[in-house]
Structure 1
Amino acid sequence: MNERPSVIPALHHIPPGIQCAQDYEALADRFIPAPAHAYIAGGSGQEATLRANLAAFDGIGIAPRLLRDVTAGHTRVKLLGRELRHPVLLAPVAFQTLAHPGGEIETARAADATDSCLVASTLSSFPLEDIARATRGDKWFQLYFQPRRESTLDLVRRAEAAGFGALVVTVDASVQSPSLRARRAGFRMPDDVRPANLQHHVQPGQVTLSGGQSLIFQGLMSEAPTWDDLAWIMGQTALPVLVKGVLHADDAHALQAMGVAGLVVSNHGGRTLDGIPASLKALPRIREAVGAGYPLLLDSGIRGGSDIFKALALGADAVMIGRLQVYALAVAGALGVAHLVKLLREELELCMALAGCPTPADITPAFIER
């Protein structure tokens, strides 16, 4: 019986075996303890949605055009009035010290080195102010509504003061379906991995249930945000507010109508309700619902540059990278994450060049072969 190799600390160089972005995923279990790796890599339930996210990209091809002049090509995109050098954003991933002691600080350093927009999580292992100081570039703050409105507002005010340029409000993870993979691996959150942004917030006591009440409906979901909460937070800040976790066209249309600045088409990487559609499959319907020109991002399932191309072709303006950044972080810290972004950009550029698309604006559904 083969034993899993001993976990080794993150390297200070790029391993010679890294030839593409997905190679970081193959190496990650050498650098992350098995229970934590199961927690990071796994999805909810039987992981049907996790598999669907990957299969959705494999299920479509690219139809290249010939003899196009791409010598003036670039990967620049515009989002929320800002020009970004490339359409790869570092997604909000919680508790990154599970993968590397430097956690989100290392990721922010990588964002700074690669001109990448960083999205910092409410559940980061380091305070949002420390993360903000580690990068001079574009940065957004991902917001989870807290049980008390004053706690939610405190997070917003801190993000504003720290220089974050937008809020990304996650609405699809009020209750996270258990990850069977993580439970079977015996994962428990280590005592020294805590949500640094919430350390000074007083959390309400456990909800008392009466006979016949549900732990889910009357318990956990009693603190879930509603449309009223979203409208309230939008009235409390001048920052543009994006909503993450959108999969239904009707929701997308309603969010656009209420003034949300943009949407992230996402199923939380297959970590919420198992069996829901792949993010990529939902994307074209949502683009149709909101029309051209409205900011749309996609996460869940991106593993390479051709995946980014397919997402842009089906309606996304940019993508967010979650698990891949954590794998690269575990292998080589900030250097690994920076190298990952470099690889993704090069893979995207090669795909664009061979498909005959000099700029992201040229990537349309006409380049997709179903």
Structure 2
Amino acid sequence: MANNKNDGIIPTLDRQREIYLKGLSGDRPMVPIDSDELERRAERAMSPEAFAYIAGGAGHETSMDSNRQAFRERRILPRMLNDVSERDTSVTLFGRRLPSPFLLSPIGVLEMVDPHGDESVGRAAAAEEVPMIFSNQASQPMETVAEAMGEGPRWFQLYWSKSDDLVKSLVSRAEACGCEAIVVTLDTTMLGWRTRDLDLAYLPFLRGKGIAQYTSDPVFLKRLEKAITEQDDEAPKPRVTLETLKALREIGQSWPGSTLEGLRSGKARAAVQEFINVYSRPSLTWEDLSMLRDHTRLPILLKGILHPDDARKARDYGMDGVIVSNHGGRQVDGSVSSFEMLPRVVEAVEGKIPVIMDSGIRGGADVFKALALGATAVGLGRPWVYGLALDGEDGAREVIRNFKTDFELTMGLAGCRSISEITPDTLV
């Protein structure tokens, strides 16, 4: 049970009591509970470039709006006089029992928010027994974060690069550091038209940020040595200004060794260029999945699935799960929302593989609604980054605890004692 002290987990509803008791001493939460206020406060704590990268979406950001609107169009129908004094919020995914139906969706370049962002979030997730999906675009190598998490559950997000050898190497490293599943993100084979980033003319990867999984990888480093010897001195270069020099310093600081050595050797700049060259593969097809299936024993989930036919194909091609997601509205402006497509994807897979959903979840009621329409679990995204921006590891953990508490209260007040009782009949 979620509120059983013997489980070794802080009782969920103690979070609510803790807030009110601290209020007697005049203390208010450092991390706002309200999702809109949380975002506003985080914006003040972050650089304009960091906030634009995390908070922004594609085009006019209508897909972000549709993610939220879709949740508003479904209503919870509570039932009365059920004994909800004990509530079980646990789920089981790929043989592991989790105390709550949450995962942390992969978000890259956390160094823009916190210098030790990936480690901080990893520790917060481990403390709450919530699986963290390591970002392929992390600011710290997966091995470093895995060590910080101890026995905490973790998965690995894979962006399929132009090098199959690099893909295999990343997956082998994920296995070796205890990841329990591979999440192949399919909706970012090209970078979306992200207007906030474009208006600032700022892409963190060009400054060496968010490429730690690459600069710690033996296959990438071998490619890098070759790239350095084959550098094209005639390639276009940016106009030299103070901003250029600042960017060069950032690139040097991103190199895992000495900043000076990285710049003098040319490795830091070459790493950025090689990352751009190899980052993603628009030519990826369903047939390519067999290589990954043959290479790893881990469960494979496809992230970015919205069409029910794609969900059926995922099942037919031997995938172990799907994540219904439109990338938080960051890729296709005017896209359908994840939530509105969820029931069609659930129907398509016929209960044979788990369906996880992310994009637009901002509170416990959203989680309840997603589970009611057939999701096995949900991915949390931007809110925990905002908590990280405000109070580091403690801030990220507060956001996770707030979601857990809000969800458990919603479930109980709707008359449900366990997730198995959250069915389509609980919505209108």
TM over 0.5: yes
The residue that corresponds to 2:161 in the other structure is 146
How far off is 1:251 after superposition? 0.7
Q: Does 1:127 align with 2:186?
A: no
Matches within 5 A, 1:15-164: 15-16=29-30, 18-20=32-34, 23-135=37-149, 136-164=151-179
Kindly indicate whether residue 224 of structure 2 is the aligned counterpart of residue 165 of structure 1. no
- Offset at 1:220? 9.8
Say which structure, 1 or 2, has more relative contact order (CA 8 Å, 6+ apart).
1
Deviation per CA, 1:151-177: give whole Å up to 9, x if none. Answer: 110001111111111101111110122
For residues 213 and 197 of structure 2, what CA distance do their matches in structure 1 show? 25
Tell me the residue number matched to 1:249: 308
CA distance in 1, matches of 2:283, 2:139: 23
User: How far does residue 22 in structure 1 lie from its aligned partner after superposition?
Assistant: 5.0
Correspondence 1:191 to 2:191:
no
- Which runs of no fewer than 5 residues in structure 2 stay unpaired? 1-26, 232-277
Deviation at 1:303, TM superposition (A): 0.5
Q: Within 1, Cα distance between the matches of 2:125 and 2:53?
A: 24
Q: Give 1:23 shift.
A: 3.8
Aligned to 1:227: 286
Q: 1:322 to 1:33 in 2, by over 3 A?
A: same
Summarize the Cα distance change of 1:326–1:132 in structure 2 as closer, same or farther, 3 Å threshold.
same
Determine the C-alpha separation between the residues in 2 that align with 1:183 and 1:127. Answer: 28
| Contact map agreement 2:162 2:280 (CA 8 A) in 1 | no
Could you tell me how far apart the structure 2 residues matched to 1:98 and 1:63 are?
41
Counterpart of 1:239 (choices 280, 283, 298) is 298
Residue aligned with 2:383, SS: helix
* Aligned-CA RMSD value: 2.1
Corresponding pairs, count: 345
Q: What secondary structure sits across from 1:134 in the alignment? A: helix
Contact 1:21 1:344 in 2 (8 A): no
Question: What corresponds to 2:8 in structure 1?
Answer: none
Q: Does 1:366 align with 2:366?
A: no
Could you tell me the percent identity over the aligned residues?
Answer: 39
Decide whether the 8 Å contact of 2:89 with 2:418 is kept in 1: yes
Distance in 2 between residues matched to 1:161 and 1:150, nearest whole Å: 16
Deviation readout 1:260-295 (Å, 9 max, x if unpaired): 111100001111121110000000000111123521
Q: Kindly report which structure 2 residues correspond to 1:275-286, keeping only aligned pairs within 5 A, or say none.
A: 275-286=334-345
Flag the structure with larger Rg: 2
The structure-2 alpha-carbon separation of the partners of 1:316 and 1:183, relative to structure 1 and needing over 3 Å to count, comes to same
Q: Distance in 2 between matches of 1:14 and 1:32?
A: 21
Contact 1:36 1:187 in 2 (8 A): no
Amino acid at match of 1:194: G
- Aligned equivalents of 1:113 and 1:24: distance in 2? 22
Q: How does 1:231-310 map to 2 (within 5 A)?
A: 231-292=290-351, 294-310=353-369
For 1:116 and 1:239, locate their aligned partners in 2 and report how far apart those are by CA, in whole Å: 18
Instruction: State the shift of 1:306 in Å.
Output: 0.6
In 2, the alpha carbon distance for the partners of 1:335 and 1:14 equals 15
* Normalised TM-score (structure 1): 0.89
Q: Contact 2:30–2:390 at 8 Å: present in 1 too?
A: no
Consecutive unaligned residues in structure 1, runs of 5 or more: 1-12, 207-218
**What is the deviation of 1:341?**
0.8
Is the 2:71–2:339 Cα contact (8 Å) retained in structure 1? yes
CA distance in 2, matches of 1:220, 1:29: 29
| Aligned 8 A contact 1:38 1:182 in 2 | yes
Q: What letter is aligned with 2:390?
A: V
- Counterpart residue identity of residue 114, structure 1: E
Q: Distance in 1 between matches of 2:312 and 2:52?
A: 36
